[in-house]
Amino acid sequence: MELCYKGWKQEDGNTQGRCCCNCKNQVEIMRHPWNTMVGGRMKGPVTITAGWGCAAPDFDNKIIFFEDEHSVCEMHEWKDK
């Protein structure tokens, strides 16, 4: 598994390189042309990323939205190799 320190730096306590980008709960969220957010990242072609989400099982089929691919939370689980 590739370690990442972009969101949570090693010098800030991320000794294991945990990041949303290497978590199996992360999902990519795509834009849609019918969305109405003016100036937001949600409107546009479905081929363009709008952001990232956390679909951890504890969220009862809900996704928590993040603008950045790199972060970390207590729900981190390593992606399968």
Residue 26 structure tokens: 């992360």
Asked if residue 32 belongs to a domain, the reply is: yes
Asked if residue 45 belongs to a domain, the reply is: yes
Asked if residue 41 belongs to a domain, the reply is: yes
The pTM assigned to this predicted structure is 0.84
Asked if residue 18 belongs to a domain, the reply is: no
Asked if residue 10 belongs to a domain, the reply is: no
Cα 81 from Cα 27, distance rounded (Å): 16
Ramachandran quadrant class, 39 (left: phi over 0; alpha: psi -120 to 50; beta: rest): left
Q: What are the backbone dihedrals phi and psi of residue 21, each rounded to the nearest 5 degrees, phi first?
A: -65, -20
For the chain, what is the domain count? Answer: 1
**pLDDT tens, residue order, the chain (81 aa):** 799 999 999 999 999 999 999 999 999 999 999 988 766 678 889 999 999 999 999 999 999 999 899 998 889 999 987
Asked if residue 17 belongs to a domain, the reply is: no
* Residue ranges making up the domain that contains 57: 23-73
Cα 65 from Cα 81, distance rounded (Å): 24
For residue 50, the tally of other CB atoms under 10 A from its CB is: 20
